[in-house]
Amino acid sequence: MNTETKPTEQGHPRPKVNRQAGASEAVYGFGLIGAWIYYFTHAATFWIGVLGFFKGIVWPAILVYEVLKYLHL
């Protein structure tokens, strides 16, 4: 982390924070793109494609829910 400070509008120094992306973000991104490709290619109508767009965003939550339901937890 860089400890260099920048003055803000009020003149108070504020630390500069460098954020680094983790590997989990890349995995989620690839999963998102893969889910969209799957849902879009299987969509028979425009509205099923729109539904696939939203399902692609929330697929990890659906996956965890189904796994927990399968394990009876």
Query: Quick one: pLDDT at residue 5?
Result: 56
Contact 6, 14 (CB under 8 A): yes
Query: Quick one: pLDDT at residue 20?
Result: 72
Contact 49, 35 (CB under 8 A): no
User: Residues for the chain: how many in total?
Assistant: 73
Considering the entire predicted model, what is its pTM?
A: 0.58
Question: Minimal CA–CA distance to 56: which of 30, 29, 28, 35?
Answer: 35
Residue 32 token pair: 């998102």
Q: What percent of the chain clears pLDDT 70, i.e. is strictly above it?
A: 84
Where exactly are the structural domains of the chain? 22-70
DSSP assignments along 29-40, one per residue: HHHHHHHHHHHH
pLDDT tens, residue by residue, 10-43: 667 788 877 776 777 888 888 899 999 999 999 9
Q: What percent of the chain clears pLDDT 90, i.e. is strictly above it?
A: 45
